[in-house]
Chains A and B, each alone.
Chain A
């Protein structure tokens, strides 16, 4: 390569080393999978934005009860919210352990995260059951029933997908198919997803549940 060409590249192109395998090729210095997750989370923002937007578009338009205030029990939901927030802590510790080349510690934290996530989903199932049988709120009862169950249901589905993902990751770590070092980024990306799902819940809990009780 001529010196002229060298100059032209080094003026403009940051950090370029090997470009053999596809996975090594990255122009922005950010792993492909991480960039993909950020783009996907942007897309997910629009998804949950639409669902939460629909909830507020119809807020107060229900023709009959029960109304949000009649069904929410902040105490129980606070506990499940707390557990989900704690799962973000264990997730972060898992990502960190993986980066420090401690796959077994990482697996413990990942399984703990999955357990907390599953408990959250359990709380949600309990909540839905309670609303349906005790408070007589069904999907077809009112706009509130439709929007509430759909919005929180899709969030719960996302948590469930996350739990399945966490379990698959811990299996891969056990089978040594996922080794620390280069593949630690896979755990980190899972962490991004998990934190995102957490943040969506913070938005839902704050705006859907808590604001209901604001005078």
Chain B
């Protein structure tokens, strides 16, 4: 291997902006650079991961022994609700958005996303939403406590107080943010690919991101409608969820799970993509069944819209609906199995190396498979009737979301942070993180299978000593401390690496895809020249396959980069004012809401006008 990554010989591009970038804090507030927005998303995700983890730690302490009274009643319910809401919407989704923002344009050889200012709008709207949900602690002294699924009529004003208003308001903002991001990235991935990058040459991670962007764009509207109806019930006295006016509790469940199940695939598919990127690099061979992995991901995305009813087998939908949803759910096992066997095929008989990224990627496979298999049990209505709302379900989705999604994201962090910071993470600390986390995770969640089968229901704050659940609960709580310790090791590793880490260089892993061809961290314009893609593994073939060198253009490219802008934040802030206006419409916080709504609406119109008139 020659020093073949010597793109430095290429002419430096001439790049210009309408208005120059600012520096320091102003730059972060007005940035439209996908890399900076990616870092913002990722940082926010890690922060909320800590918060969500702390919430879990607190309620696991409560459950460690029988008959404890540390966090009881609505405090306990609030911790459980916010643990799930935080982990799903504020931790894992923004971390995915972070990877998607930072790496999708790099992977497809683009300079930025299709709509950079819309991207900033998504980020600021997410930011406003995350603060709104948690603001209930500040204004009401309590968390929303109706479970992350927010089943109406439990969430109507008859049964739930003010914190739920913060919950629907924040989630509505997050839904808008995700929907806009979905549209933006669909266009980015379909339209901004480098020349020669046909759909089958798009890296698997970018493919999975494409699938989830469709899921985001099409699955968020139902929950937006559900949340709007809830907001109207609580604010304007509509009767959607009011059973004494003929309202049907099924309505919320249908709207929520029509969003909720595609959402599950939004959480897992990116991790599958990350694993599909990492395994080939450290086995030094192409991904086994590359096309099958892509198509199965697309198939999972499609089927994801037809399985929501399996969350409602106990809700009384009737035998025909139950049977239909049972079959569609069972079908999901096929594309998932295809992926698992392709990963195993990639590993089989290969000469592997085991850096931390690879360890997480490998352990993703069995941990996710355990969660997938217990998931298949729930596809069967009779079994599900037994397991519904027991700890068996809790064990199932934590194996999928922690053993699967989160481990995949950790793998992604170890693999990709050198590209973001230019510094390697420490491998020793990384391996400590991995092993402690893996053990802690299994110690926490494996006993929950047993607890569920012994009949322990979810969402109870304590249990009697003679129920036979004592040992498993104590073990599970112990495991949470291990997971906490492991995560702290990771954060320490991350922070110290920024200062002391070894220089990564552009291609520390000898990898396959375009993002490794540019410097670490990449320049604002990503690539000095637009790469031309000649194969599925453009960088690998550039290095090792004669005749597939990425051609370097002779003359320098002229690049126009989008200018920084305040307008996305203005629109987000105005939208936030509308939401706060609705939230306080009846004057609950001592301020009448309707003037805020008007101010917000006028603000949206004016800032959109400023947005479209602004030269980019």
- Please list the residues of chain A having a beta carbon within 8 angstroms of any beta carbon in chain B: 1-2, 4-5, 8-9, 12-13, 16, 19-22, 25-28, 30, 32, 35-36, 39-40, 42-44, 46-47, 49-51, 54, 57-58, 61-63, 139-140, 142-143, 145-147, 149-150, 154, 164, 168, 172, 177
Contact = CB atoms under 8 A, between A and B. Distances in A.
Contacts of A44: 221
B530 interface: yes
Given A46-B218, A150-B229, A172-B612, A36 B182 contact: no
A5 B191 CA distance: 21
A172 B613 contact: yes
Contact of B534 (A8, A142, A145, A172): A8
Contacts of A62: 246
Most B CB within 10 A of own CB, among A5, A39, A62: A39
A35 B222 contact: no
Contacts of A172: 612-613
Interface in B214-237: 214, 217-222, 224-226, 228-229, 232, 236-237
B406 interface: no
8 nearest A-B pairs in the assembled complex, by CB-CB distance: A146-B238, A47-B221, A50-B225, A46-B221, A140-B237, A1-B551, A16-B195, A21-B560
Contact of B248 (A2, A8, A28, A57): A57
Chain B CB within 10 Å, residue with most, of A20, A21, A42, A46: A46
Contact of A54 (B114, B224, B225, B551): B225
Given A12-B196, A150-B232, A172-B612, A43 B183 contact: yes
B187 A139 contact: no
A63 B248 CA distance: 12
B116 A146 contact: no
B229 A54 contact: yes
Interface in B107-135: 110-112, 114-116
B186 interface: yes
Contacts, number: 163
A158 to B, nearest CB: 13
A157 B535 CA distance: 48
Given A27-B192, A139-B232, A39 B182 contact: yes
B217 A42 contact: yes
Interface string B373-415: 0000000000000000000000000000000000000000000
Interface of B: 110-112, 114-116, 179, 182-184, 186-187, 190-198, 201, 214, 217-222, 224-226, 228-229, 232, 236-240, 245-248, 251, 254-255, 258, 530, 532, 534-535, 547, 549, 551, 553, 557-560, 562, 605, 608-609, 612-613
A146 to B, nearest CB: 4
B239 A35 contact: no
Contact of A150 (B194, B197, B238, B547): B238
A195 to B, nearest CB: 18
Contacts of B198: 12-13
Nearest to B194: A19
Contact of A22 (B196, B232, B562): B562
Contacts of B218: 42-43, 46
Contact of B192 (A5, A22, A164): A22
B183 A39 contact: yes
A44 B195 CA distance: 32
A21 to B, nearest CB: 4
A147 B532 contact: no
B220 A1 contact: no
B195 A32 contact: no
Nearest to B220: A43
A98 B246 CA distance: 51
Nearest to A153: B232
29 contacts: A2-B551, A12-B196, A12-B198, A21-B559, A22-B114, A22-B192, A27-B190, A28-B190, A32-B114, A32-B192, A35-B190, A35-B191, A36-B114, A36-B187, A43-B217, A50-B226, A57-B254, A58-B248, A61-B246, A62-B246, A63-B245, A139-B237, A142-B245, A143-B245, A145-B239, A146-B238, A150-B228, A150-B232, A177-B613
Given A8-B196, A61-B246, A143 B560 contact: no
Contacts of B182: 39, 43
Contacts of B183: 36, 39-40, 43
Nearest to B226: A50
Contacts of A26: 191-192
Contacts of B193: 27
A13 B196 contact: yes
Given A27-B192, A43-B183, A164-B605, A19 B530 contact: yes
Contact of B240 (A25, A35, A63, A147): A147
A146 B240 contact: yes
B246 A54 contact: no
A146 B551 contact: no
Contacts of A5: 532, 534, 549, 551
Contacts of B258: 50
Given A28-B191, A51-B225, A22 B112 contact: yes
Given A46-B222, A49-B222, 4 more contacts: A19-B530, A32-B192, A54-B255, A168-B608
Contacts of B248: 57-58, 61
Contacts of A40: 183, 217
Contacts of A9: 195-196, 532, 534
B255 A32 contact: no
Given A12-B198, A39-B186, A147-B240, A50 B222 contact: yes
B219 A46 contact: yes
Contacts of A36: 114-115, 183-184, 186-187
Nearest to B183: A39
Contacts of A149: 238
B257 to A, nearest CB: 12
Contacts of A142: 239, 245-246
